[in-house]
Chains A and B, each alone.
Chain A
Amino acid sequence: MKIPLIYNLRSLRQRPISTLTTALGMGLVVLVFIAMSALSRGFRAALTETGSGDNVIVLRTGADSELTSGLGRQTASTITSMPFVARGADGRPLASPEVYVLVSLQRLSSGEALVVARGINPEAFQVRKNVSIIAGRMIRPGTSEILIGKSIVDRFANTGIGQTISLANRDWTVVGHFAADGSSFESEIWGENEQFMPAFRGEVFQSLTFRLKDPAAFESVRQTLADDPRLPVDAHREYDFYANQSFQLTQIINIAAIFVAGIMAVGAIFGAINTMYAAVGARAPEIAVLLTLGFRPASVLFSFLFEALVIAFLGGLIGGLFSLPLNGIMTSTTNWQSMSEVAFAFRVTPDLLLRGVVFALVMGFIGGFFPARRAARQPVVEVARQI
């Protein structure tokens, strides 16, 4: 027969301080775990959402990032006119040759950052479906005007509309801000190709991104480009290209999260063991009575395990609750794989909260098992005599 669960809930209420401190301790472990995971997910999301599965990014052969790439105008226009490039409503190819450079800017908070300055043509806004101007206006051709990604507005000086930023001995006027679904484009400065070329690296693009007419045909397109002797280029699926750039830092944060949360969990589990042994010890007479009444030892074991799991569940809830305000907080770092500044938001997702609760329950199970087993194995006669 099972011992009613209400018995455990009531006994938890009997010692609220001990229950709450144990739950709170676990909650903090869960909080740290969720916070660090939210950091790595936010970073990863910023990069994966940069790329689209329908787009292809073309770089010079062997280049591992846009930074080390270079494409001549001839190469870019040859690829743009190829038949597998999708066309817009006006019949123009959906291809965006881009200049890509890193400029050194001082963060307003602290330290220096290498910010991406990307040269674009108007097609860039059609090729990248998720990019849109949210304030101000589009740059006019032939002028020293720039757009600022939403994430770096206010993180660097003079990013407001109408202000000017000095880059490469020229003053550039900010005429608009753009959003891109939280992707790393939001950490970039966009200006016109024809202005950025002479200002920075001369007559050369760094990458060409185009929309595929048939997204399923990527492999054959890649092969066609690789086989063309005129074109010293590598083609990558845009999504994979940016996702790969998040690999290193994501992995570092994940390892750190496991290290930190793992060691904290050991401490919290020891705490839970203490609490549960104390609970079992204080209720030895009650347990003896239960056993005498004919409750099976297995029922006693489950009953106390349940009690530990309730504490842990409480801890998981507390940790999840505390982590919610983190969601959306912006931070930034340098992605060493591309050397560039990436601003991104903590992402506390429902499945992450669930993982936090599961993590707490695992701690509760380990912490509760041995005390519960002791309760179940209690010698009835001896204890009953003490009563």
Chain B
Amino acid sequence: MKYVKLVWANLTRSKRRTILTTLSVAAALFLFVSLRSVITTLEDAKQVGSESRMVTRNSISIVFPLPEAYYTWLSAVPGVTSVSWACWFGGIYQDPKNFFPQFAIKADSYLPMYPEMVIPEDQRGQFMAERTAALVGKGLMERFGWRLGQNIQLRSSIYVPEQTWPFTIRAVYTPTDPSFGDELMFIHYEYLYENSGRWATPGWYVLQLDDPARAASVATVIDEHYKNSGASTRTETERAFQTSFITMYGNVGFLLNAIGMAVFFAILLVAANTMMMAARERTSEVAVLKTLGFSDRLLVGLVLAEAAVITVTGGLIGVFGAKLIFEGTEFQGAGFLPGFEVKWGTAVIGLLIAVLLGVVSGLVPAWQAARLPVAHTLRRVA
């Protein structure tokens, strides 16, 4: 510990340089942690769906509906305890930029299948009792400053686009898991059906299984049954269904990782350059220290320690700065990244990278210090 003072003295010799380098490392780690958190949030989104629920959709693609008549047969499939359905409403609230998803659901069977949505009992009752009622996520209420009982008007790009659809907010849900999303809106399928000229049909069916282990066999039974019908089906677990949406983004992970690498190398160059400049100014001092009997190994240690103090301090600022800022602002990527957070795992990786930066950037100057020819250097000093 007796060398702490020496390292500290070296760090404070050029305060401006130390501070600027620390801050540039902080900026890099902030960015790295932000990018990494986007990746982990997308990964988590793949885990949102339940393994004990399955989704049956049209095999052509999700935009093709299924007949309502499938409900009865699906309910009788062994292993399926409950069946419900939903469809995409495609509503626009005031302006297309205010995008949020709305689903028309068969509420009496749908809501019991989703314990992820916590709804006060009285509100649930009111929602169920009224056809034009809407169930809205807590985040959406805050985003538009809505209150319970308020009437809102939506236009649908799919159903009777000439008219507006009035809804009354009767219930608000809070998700048990943030990645479920709190910016969804649910309306009654029956209301949509009757007011769209009986044109609406289920977009997809949700099936509750008594045992998740039966998922594969249930899927086969259903898809085989409808194979040669007018609307053949594709059945998979809800998790697989959700994952397929995330994969539609394409290779975002690769892109973000590539940017992360560029950030890492850019800052590595900055840090390494600083350490080399610091070392160059001190050549004569190192020679003196060597004459005094400091071993090569100790000198290497001192240089590396100095580099590590800079990068680790920068890393701490960057990583925890990101964590505090994103948590403080409740950043959700404008609704595209529900449940966005800087995980502890990401924070640890960030700090390890900071340590790595310190070691690598200190390497060259440390090596130079170790093999400095003492006599030669001292001659120049004298």
- Please report A residues at the B interface, Cβ cutoff 8 Å: 17-18, 21-22, 24-25, 28-29, 31-32, 35-36, 39, 60-65, 67-68, 101-104, 107, 109-114, 167-169, 200-201, 252, 260, 263-264, 266-268, 270-271, 273-275, 277-278, 281-282, 331-334, 339, 341
Given contacts A111-B244, A270-B23, A274-B277, contact A264 B263 (CB under 8 A): yes
User: Which one, A21, A60, A112, A113, contacts B269 given CB within 8 A?
Assistant: A21
Is B249 a contact partner of A114 (Cβ separation < 8 A)? Answer: no
Across-interface contacts of B281 in A (CB, < 8 A): 278, 281-282
Whether a CB of chain A sits under 8 angstroms from the CB of B272 is yes
A25-B269, A61-B161, A270-B21 known; A278-B277 Cβ under 8 A:
yes
Do the beta carbons of B270 and A268 come within 8 Å of each other?
yes
A-contacting 9-mer, from B26-34, B69-77, B210-218, B341-349:
B26-34
Among the listed B27, B59, B232, B259, which residue makes an inter-chain contact with A266, where contact means beta carbons less than 8 Å apart? B27
**What are 26 A-to-B residue pairs whose CB atoms are below 8 Å?**
A22-B273, A25-B273, A28-B266, A31-B262, A32-B263, A62-B162, A68-B157, A68-B161, A101-B64, A102-B63, A104-B60, A104-B61, A168-B60, A260-B259, A263-B27, A263-B30, A264-B31, A264-B266, A268-B270, A270-B21, A274-B17, A274-B274, A277-B17, A278-B17, A333-B250, A334-B249
- Whether B129 sits at the interface, judged by CB under 8 Å, is no
Instruction: Supply 16 further A-B pairs (C-beta < 8 A) apart from A17-B273, A21-B272.
Output: A65-B157, A68-B90, A68-B158, A104-B59, A107-B250, A110-B251, A112-B248, A167-B60, A200-B60, A270-B21, A270-B27, A271-B24, A271-B274, A274-B270, A275-B273, A341-B248
Taking CB atoms and an 8 Å cut-off, the chain B residues in 203-262 that contact chain A are: 228, 232, 234, 244, 246-252, 255, 259, 262
Known: A28-B266, A29-B266, A114-B61. A266 touches B244 (CB 8 A): no
- Do B248 and A113 touch (CB < 8 A)? yes
Q: Smallest CB-CB separation from B274: which chain A residue?
A: A274
Cα A274 to Cα B20 with chains together (Å) = 7
A169–B247 alpha-carbon span in the complex (Å) = 24
> B62: CB under 8 A from chain A?
yes
Q: A314 to chain B: closest CB distance in Å?
A: 13
**CB distance A103 to B249 under 8 Å?**
no
In Å, the complex CA distance between A104 and B61 comes to: 5
Selected contact of B262 from candidates A28, A104, A107, CB within 8 Å: A28
For the complex, give the distance between the alpha carbons of A296 and B213 in Å. 83
Instruction: Please indicate the chain B residues that have their CB under 8 angstroms from the CB of A102 in the complex.
Output: 61, 63
* CB pair B250 A64 closer than 8 Å: no
Min Cβ gap B242→A in Å is 11
User: Within 8 Å of chain A (Cβ to Cβ): is B360?
Assistant: no
A169 touches B228 (CB 8 A): yes
Task: State the CA gap A282–B282 with chains docked (Å).
Answer: 12
Chain B residues with CB under 8 A of A32: 259, 262-263
How close is B60's CB to chain A, nearest CB, in angstroms?
A: 5
Report the bound CA distance from A32 to B277 in whole Å.
26
Q: Which of A65, A200, A252, A270 is close to B270, meaning CB atoms less than 8 Å apart?
A: A270
Do residues B244 and A112 form an inter-chain contact, with CB atoms below 8 A?
yes
Residues of A within 8 A of B96 (CB): 64
- Assess the B250–A332 pair: CB atoms within 8 A: yes
The answer to whether A109 touches B251, judged by C-beta atoms less than 8 angstroms apart, is: yes
A271, B161: Cβ atoms closer than 8 Å: no
Check B266 against A17 for contact (C-beta < 8 Å). no
Q: How far is the CB of B195 from chain A (nearest CB, A)?
A: 15
Number of residues from B at the complex interface, CB < 8 A: 53
Contact B60 A275 (CB under 8 A): no
* Shortest distance between the CB of B305 and any CB in chain A (Å): 20
Q: How far is the CB of A90 from chain B (nearest CB, A)?
A: 36
Using CB atoms, name the residue of chain A closest to B267: A267
Give residues 12-70 of B contacting A (CB, 8 Å): 16-17, 20-21, 23-25, 27-28, 30-31, 35, 59-64
* Closest chain B CB from A251 CB (angstroms): 10
The residues of B that contact A266 with a CB separation of less than 8 Å are 23-24, 27
Is A104 within 8 A of B21, CB to CB?
no
B residues less than 8 Å from A36 (CB atoms): 259
Contact check, B277 vs A114: say whether CB atoms are below 8 A apart.
no
The answer to the question of B141 belonging to the interface, with a C-beta cut-off of 8 Å to chain A, is no
User: Would you call B269 and A334 a contact (CB within 8 A)?
Assistant: no
Closest A residue to B92 using CB positions: A64
- Smallest CB–CB gap between B334 and chain A, Å? 8
Nearest-CB residue, chain A, relative to B159: A68
CA distance A168 to B262 in the complex (A): 45
**Chain A residues, Cβ within 8 Å of B17:** 274, 277-278
A114 x B267 contact (CB < 8 A): no
Residues of A within 8 A of B158 (CB): 68
> B273's contact among A107, A111, A169, A271, by CB below 8 Å, is which?
A271
| B106 is an interface residue with CB less than 8 A from chain A | no
Question: B62: which A residues are within 8 A, CB to CB?
Answer: 104, 114
Q: Tell me, in angstroms, the Cα distance from A114 to B64 when the chains sit together.
A: 12
* Residues of B close to A63: CB separation below 8 A: 157, 161
Judge whether B155 is part of the interface by a CB distance below 8 angstroms.
yes
B154 within 8 A of A: no
Instruction: Tell me how far the C-beta of B333 lies from the nearest C-beta in chain A, rounded to whole angstroms.
Output: 9
> Which residues of chain A come closer than 8 Å to B63, judged between CB atoms?
67, 101-102, 114, 339
Q: Within the assembled complex, what's the spacing in Å between the Cα atoms of A332 and B60?
A: 21
Q: Are B251 and A334 neighbours in the complex by a CB distance under 8 Å? A: no
Partner of B60, one of A17, A60, A103, A111: A103
Interface flag for B146 (CB, 8 Å): no
Name A253's closest neighbour in chain B (CB-CB): B255
A169 and B270 contact, Cβ closer than 8 Å, known pairs A260-B31, A274-B17: no
Q: Does B265 contact A (CB under 8 A)?
A: yes
B142-174 interface code vs A (CB 8 A; 1 in, 0 out)? 000000000000010110011000000000000
User: Do residues B28 and A267 form an inter-chain contact, with CB atoms below 8 A?
Assistant: yes
Residues of A within 8 A of B162 (CB): 61-62
Cβ of B207 to closest chain A Cβ, rounded Å: 19
Q: Is B276 an interface residue (CB 8 A)?
A: yes
CB–CB B262/A22 < 8 A: no
Chain B contacts of A333 at CB under 8 A?
248-250, 252
